Chain A
Amino acid sequence: GQNIDQPTEMTATEGAIVQINCTYQTSGFNGLFWYQQHAGEAPTFLSYNVLDGLEEKGRFSSFLSRSKGYSYLLLKELQMKDSASYLCAVRKAAGNKLTFGGGTRVLVKP
């Protein structure tokens, strides 16, 4: 089976940095995805990691350590529009099937 854990909620201030952690235990691993989901909207793709290390994309970065079963999403220079849920998802070795964590709701305050 698969177990994916991430914090339920985080609060941060506009302009600050927030790090959302995701730990996973899976039978097989073929990549980890981060999605952003605003309230009432569909999830949208943010990042993908399959090798260890940091992937940077503008204000957002994602890190992966396969040996530790650990990833984080780093949001820099927070803006009010970054208030959303952030979903961590793991793909098993075969196919395109994803297993999602419960999501982390981030609230950005002025």
Chain B
Amino acid sequence: DVKVTQSSRYLVKRTGEKVFLECVQDMDHENMFWYRQDPGLGLRLIYFSYDVKMKEKGDIPEGYSVSREKKERFSLILESASTNQTSMYLCASTPWGETGNEQFFGPGTRLTVL
């Protein structure tokens, strides 16, 4: 059974804190993604990675960075959390290829920044 796990379901942090969100997949997928989901805006891509140590900016990378030191793990980092980063964060993975490869999503981390 395919599995994408995220380190926390709920997280509360203070403005200015450095925040780490971890995502692990056990499917040996090359591609991993970080999204945020906000009401009315849908899922928006923050960063993605095609391989270990590789990363590319998505549509809204400002205020975020990522790290992919191992194939199975993709971390999202909020260098200095702000209240407008309060959101649901979803991680996803998919194997390499141009065919109809679906993205498998983790359960999400609901982050509140006070």
List chain A positions with a Cβ less than 8 A from chain B.
Answer: 8, 30-31, 33, 41-45, 48, 50, 87, 89, 95-103
- Of the candidates A45, A50, A101, which one forms a contact with B103 in the assembled complex, judged by CB atoms under 8 Å apart? A45
- Of the candidates B33, B59, B98, B100, which one forms a contact with A48 in the assembled complex, judged by CB atoms under 8 Å apart? B100
Which residues of A lie under 8 Å from residue B13 when comparing CB positions? none
B74 within 8 A of A: no
| Interchain Cβ contacts within 8 Å, total number | 52
Q: Is the Cβ of B105 less than 8 Å from the Cβ of A43?
A: yes
Which residues of B lie under 8 Å from residue A101 when comparing CB positions? 42
Q: Is the Cβ of A42 less than 8 Å from the Cβ of B40?
A: no
Interface size class, chain B: 20 to 34
**Known contacts A31-B100, A96-B103; A43/B90 CB under 8 A:** yes
Which residues of A lie under 8 Å from residue B98 when comparing CB positions? 30, 96
Chain B residue with the shortest CB-CB distance to A8:
B40
17 of the cross-chain contacts (CB-CB < 8 Å) are A8-B40, A30-B98, A33-B100, A33-B102, A33-B103, A41-B107, A42-B4, A43-B43, A43-B90, A43-B105, A45-B104, A98-B45, A99-B59, A100-B35, A100-B42, A101-B42, A103-B42
